[in-house]
């Protein structure tokens, strides 16, 4: 047996454990024991161990992750499922993703992203993600109905962020949408704003609905009622913000211009800003504009907004999910949490000012 010559593999093949063993003149599992620092390795002679380590170094040995996963039932990879539109980058995703990556990396986890075009249309793809390539799955702002939620696989730990429905057995993390919206609108009202247009997110988004509730409650608590038709549904994208505001302004031509716009999220606010600038309206002198989320867009546009702790949400999600995975593999206690609601806070910006005193009509 040519056990001495470490035969060079043609490029295209990684060295295997057997290769290392062969090169070191030992069995593959002796190599395995040494390279894993397993307790078995204590019972291997120092000389042999050295030879094995040297051979591994020479051959540039890297354990194959898929083979390892097959036995350990673990890939050390987290999945993050989200909708990513072709047209517009999702800043909300980027913030959460970055938190997941960060906390995941600290726990030795990689992150794989699954992009869905639409939760309802593609819900059937979710079980396919849980085919062993990831150990746990984070659903980012999923919109599933009861039925779809029931069909989620139960052999892979799942966690949702900002979910539309509470899914049994699935931890959910979310910001306090209603309180955040209420605080922002209360602030606007406190500054004297009375005609506050709310460009809301989509009808089917629970978070969007809660922000509307906050908007309404702030008014109610102040003993006020928003003007009629002052809540408009949109899509959580800049393009939607742009189009909906245009449309609304066209429909309300000749009426008094709102004193402020409270957009359902930062992207929509950016879309609104485009429209206002295009119409030559001065922000915030003639009209104030605030968003929701506190993504980087808000910071770059100097937008006043409601901060939700997106990065923190992502970090917590990763940590809780890893704990769930550990628990499933019998390596720790399962997190005894089901639903976490994180607080929001108001963020100042250049787009928020006192309401104008003069009357200004939409044209």
Partner DNA sequence: GTGAAAGCGCTAACAG
Partner DNA sequence: CTGTTAGCGCTTTCAC
- Judge contact between 279 and 264, C-beta under 8 A: no
The residue from 277, 341, 354, 361 that contacts its own copies (CB under 8 A) is: 277
Q: Which stretch binds its own copies (CB under 8 A): 27-35, 40-48, 89-97, 191-199?
A: 89-97
134 forms part of the interface with DNA (CB under 7 A): no
C-alpha angle with apex 97: 96 to 103, nearest 5 degrees? 90
329 forms part of the interface with DNA (CB under 7 A): no
C-alpha angle with apex 242: 262 to 264, nearest 5 degrees? 30
Which one of its own copies, DNA, none interacts with residue 45, CB within 5 to 8 A by kind?
Answer: DNA
The residue from 57, 120, 204, 299 that contacts its own copies (CB under 8 A) is: 299
45 forms part of the interface with DNA (CB under 7 A): yes
- Beta carbon nearer to DNA, 43 or 121: 43
3 forms part of the interface with DNA (CB under 7 A): no
Helices vs strands, H then E, count in the chain = 14, 12
DSSP letter (8 states) at residue 55: H
Place of tokens 């704990």: 323
CA-CA distance, 352 to 148, in Å (whole number)? 41
DSSP 63-112: --HHHHHHHHS---EEEEEEE--SSS--HHHHHHHHHHHHHHHHTT-EEE
363 forms part of the interface with DNA (CB under 7 A): no
72 forms part of the interface with DNA (CB under 7 A): yes
- Residue 121 makes CB contacts below 8 A (sequence gap 6+) with none
Using CB under 7 A as the criterion, which residues of the chain lie in contact with DNA when the complex forms?
Answer: 13, 16-18, 26-30, 32-33, 35-36, 38, 40, 43-45, 48-49, 61-64, 67-68, 70-72
Using CB under 8 A as the criterion, which residues of the chain lie in contact with its own copies when the complex forms?
Answer: 11-14, 60, 62-67, 69-70, 75, 77, 84, 86, 89, 91, 94-95, 97-98, 101-102, 105, 110-115, 127-128, 130-133, 153-156, 238, 270, 273, 277, 296-297, 299-302, 328, 350
């Amino acid at each position: 047996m040519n056990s001495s010559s470490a035969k060079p593999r043609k490029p295209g093949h990684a060295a295997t454990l057997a290769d290392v063993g062969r090169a070191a003149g030992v069995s593959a599992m002796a190599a395995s024991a040494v390279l894993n620092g397993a307790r078995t390795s204590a019972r291997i002679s120092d000389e042999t161990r050295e030879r094995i380590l040297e051979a591994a170094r020479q051959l540039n040995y890297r354990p194959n992750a898929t083979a390892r996963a097959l036995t350990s039932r673990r890939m050390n990879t987290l999945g993050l499922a989200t909708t990513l539109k072709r047209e517009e980058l999702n800043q909300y995703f980027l913030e959460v993703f970055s938190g997941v990556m960060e906390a995941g990396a600290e726990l030795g986890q990689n992150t794989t992203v699954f992009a869905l075009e639409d939760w309802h249309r593609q819900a059937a793809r979710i079980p396919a993600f849980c085919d062993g390539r990831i150990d746990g799955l984070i659903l980012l702002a999923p919109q599933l109905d009861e039925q779809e939620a029931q069909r989620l696989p139960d052999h892979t730990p799942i966690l949702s962020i900002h979910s539309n429905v509470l899914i049994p057995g699935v931890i959910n993390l979310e910001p306090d949408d209603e309180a955040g919206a209420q605080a922002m609108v209360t602030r606007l009202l406190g500054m004297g704003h009375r005609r506050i247009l709310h460009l809301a997110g989509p009808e089917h988004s629970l978070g969007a609905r809660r922000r509307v509730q906050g908007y309404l409650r702030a008014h109610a608590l102040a003993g006020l009622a928003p003007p009629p038709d002052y809540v408009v549904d949109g899509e959580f994208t800049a393009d939607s913000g742009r189009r909906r505001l245009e449309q609304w302004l066209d429909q309300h031509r000749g009426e008094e211009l709102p004193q402020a716009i409270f957009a359902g999220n930062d992207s929509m606010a950016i879309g609104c800003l485009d429209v206002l600038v295009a119409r030559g309206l001065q922000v915030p002198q003639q009209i104030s504009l605030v968003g929701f989320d506190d993504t980087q867009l808000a910071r770059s546009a100097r937008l006043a907004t409601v901060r939700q702790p997106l990065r923190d949400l992502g970090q917590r999600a990763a940590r809780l999910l890893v704990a769930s995975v550990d628990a499933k593999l019998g390596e720790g206690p399962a997190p005894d949490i089901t639903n976490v609601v994180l607080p929001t806070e108001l963020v100042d910006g250049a787009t928020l000012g006192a309401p104008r005193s003069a009357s200004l009509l939409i044209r």
